[in-house]
Structure 1
Amino acid sequence: MKREQLRSLFRRRNNLVKNFRKIMSLIKGQHLNQGIDIPCEFDNSYWSHNFRDWLDNLKFTYLTARMTLDSHMHYFRFVDQELREVSTKLLSYCKEHYKKDYMLLRSILGIGGIVACGIICELGDLRTFNSIKHLSGYVGLIPGIHQSGDNIRNTGITKRAKRLIRRYFIEASWQAIRTDPVFQAYYCKHLGKNIKTVIVKIARKLLSIHIGVRASYMEQVI
């Protein structure tokens, strides 16, 4: 019950992330419809305070367009503030009540605070998994297989998965490539191949590292 309620807070955060991205798309869409170009320095996924001020002071031919943007910006700021507050509460709770697990996860390159919280919330006690293969299958980091009679073919990454946590491991893989020389070398070695396949392999390696770190910790405790 305790873990389920923590998971509900984590999923609340992810719903806010979806709403945040959606309102950003609506605001950008309004500019496209109105034929207004966003300055190059603001055309990115990070909306600085300068960009927000630019949006607040933007002039339109008709007042109704300004009213629409004001409404969008009001909702944008609400979701932004709510997302920050929920993220802070989630991090604080995991640090306090799952400190050892949280710190172990943060010790792995590519695993940030929110990703660590996600693993704690969605995977729980990893001792319930028999092997890395079992855990990889649960997360969805194994190939999908389609069998028809005697014919068996690989369908790419399996569709049966905990998609939310798989997405976080994929994001952690990109971060690991940027910060860890070993993962950088592995990625460069496979350039020219299917990028999605390479990233999934790196995500599986991160999962294996996490299992190794957790097992090492359990041996010290025992």
Structure 2
Amino acid sequence: MNTQITAIPKLYIGIDIHKRSWKVHCATDLFAGKSFSMSTDPNKLRVFVTKHFPDHEVSTAYEAGCCGYYAHRCFENYGWRSLVVNPADIHRKGKEKHTKTDKIDAQLIARELKDGRLESIIIPNKKREELRSLFRRRNDLVKDFRRIKSYIKMQLLYFGIKEPEEFDNDHWSHKYRKWLDDMVFEHPTAKATLDSRLRFFRFVDKELRDVSTQLRRYCKVHYQKDYMLLRSIPGIGGIVAGGILCELGDLRRFNNIKHLAGYVGLTPSVHQSGDTQRTMGMTPRSKRLLRSYFVEASWQAIRADPVMQAYYRKHQGKNVKRIIVKVARKLLSRTLAVIKTEVPYTIGVIE
């Protein structure tokens, strides 16, 4: 009697990716597997698999991180199933929570992949991924801008220099900048320090303006329909609209507001035991940058939209931070509705 193997053998590869090397663990349905180190070249892994595991159906997984999606795209080009997973989704048993090495990490990823418990994050296409890099560059510049302003204020405070009352605010007018340029110190070294910081301030200021303009222009040209729909919502300006398009992609992929709010991080953390239930604040798992943008946009929305303002006032008397989070979730709901219906938002219309 002739016997034939009808099931396709499966290979599961867990990879702990680093800048200079990968720790790889290979497992199949029949054996627990082996671990080894290799250089950061996806093609070398393909050669290894072709040599030692021919005719296997290959699945790979690695944690999302600084190395991006290059390896993932290479694996998919080889015809493999590839997952890029959130590190928090890798389940660890008791003692595994207290023991961490690259080898163990690769073994855990392979085990979870083999057991079918892993789910990939959303992988953006190259066009949106590179646009996202511009948005994140802008946020790096925002941090630099705030930092250099703090350094300049710190120097004035350190030397006991009091600002005129008209300049004691966050807005740095041209008049205020001229006042800083004309400042005189007893010794030239302090003046040299301030001049250096002012040069850096002007450089960052110009870079921030240029990158912001490029971001808005690109989104308006290449994602015009969704960009203009988002801009119709009070509180959402060009930068916030660009951030939504960069970080969330096409909002139509979200089934409902609960799905979207969970992804952005505008959902409460709840702890229940028996008859006791506590709300632990907002979930720590989130798109933190985008969540902060929606919270900031909510302050503008309650000024521009009477309906949002009435919703805010209805909750007055409670914790202000909790109220604005409620408004942010409502703003997020409207954002999803506008994109899904493809109808611009009309100010003052009650949902």
- TM-score relative to the length of structure 2: 0.60
Q: Distance in 2 between matches of 1:31 and 1:201?
A: 40
Structure 2 partner of 1:38:
163
Structure 2 partner of 1:88:
213
Richer in helix (by share):
1
Cα displacement string for residues 149-185 of structure 1 (whole angstroms, at most 9, x for unaligned residues)? 8854211111111000001100110001121122222
Structure 1 partner of 2:336:
211
Q: Distance in 2 between matches of 1:44 and 1:105?
A: 31
% identity of equivalent residues: 66
Structure 2 partner of 1:135:
260
1:191, distance to aligned residue in structure 2 (A): 1.9
Q: Distance in 1 between matches of 2:270 and 2:134?
A: 34
Cα displacement string for residues 28-75 of structure 1 (whole angstroms, at most 9, x for unaligned residues)? 011111111111211222211111000000111222111110010010
Question: What secondary structure is seen at the aligned counterpart in 2 of 1:145?
Answer: strand
Q: Distance in 2 between matches of 1:51 and 1:15?
A: 25
Q: 2:245 aligns with which of 113, 120, 125?
A: 120
Structure 2 partner of 1:146:
271
1:190, distance to aligned residue in structure 2 (A): 1.8
For 2:296, the aligned partner's letter is: E
2:230 maps to 1:105: yes
Q: Distance in 2 between matches of 1:46 and 1:98?
A: 32
Of residues 169-178 and 38-47 in structure 1, the stretch that sits farther from structure 2 once superposed is 38-47
Structure 2 partner of 1:69:
194
Question: What secondary structure is seen at the aligned counterpart in 1 of 2:342?
Answer: helix
Would the aligned equivalents of 2:268 and 2:282 in 1 still touch at CA under 8 Å? yes
Cα displacement string for residues 82-121 of structure 1 (whole angstroms, at most 9, x for unaligned residues)? 1111111111100000000100000001101100000000
Larger radius of gyration: 2
2:292 maps to 1:167: yes
Q: Distance in 1 between matches of 2:193 and 2:169?
A: 22
Richer in strand (by share):
2
Q: 1:158 aligns with which of 255, 259, 283?
A: 283
For 1:73, the aligned partner's letter is: L
Would the aligned equivalents of 2:252 and 2:339 in 1 still touch at CA under 8 Å? no
For 2:262, the aligned partner's letter is: G
Would the aligned equivalents of 2:135 and 2:243 in 1 still touch at CA under 8 Å? yes
**Runs of at least 5 residues in structure 1 that lack an aligned partner in the other structure:** none
Structure 2 partner of 1:53:
178
Question: What secondary structure is seen at the aligned counterpart in 2 of 1:60?
Answer: coil
**Runs of at least 5 residues in structure 2 that lack an aligned partner in the other structure:** 1-125, 344-351
Structure 2 partner of 1:180:
305
Give the number of the structure with larger relative contact order, counting CA–CA contacts within 8 Å between residues 6 or more apart. Answer: 1
Q: Distance in 2 between matches of 1:113 and 1:162?
A: 19
Question: What secondary structure is seen at the aligned counterpart in 1 of 2:236?
Answer: coil
1:187, distance to aligned residue in structure 2 (A): 1.8
Of residues 124-133 and 160-169 in structure 1, the stretch that sits farther from structure 2 once superposed is 124-133
- TM-score relative to the length of structure 1: 0.94
Q: Distance in 2 between matches of 1:5 and 1:29?
A: 36
Question: What secondary structure is seen at the aligned counterpart in 2 of 1:45?
Answer: coil
Q: Distance in 2 between matches of 1:148 and 1:78?
A: 55
Cα displacement string for residues 183-202 of structure 1 (whole angstroms, at most 9, x for unaligned residues)? 22222222220111111111
Note the aligned Cα RMSD (angstroms): 1.4
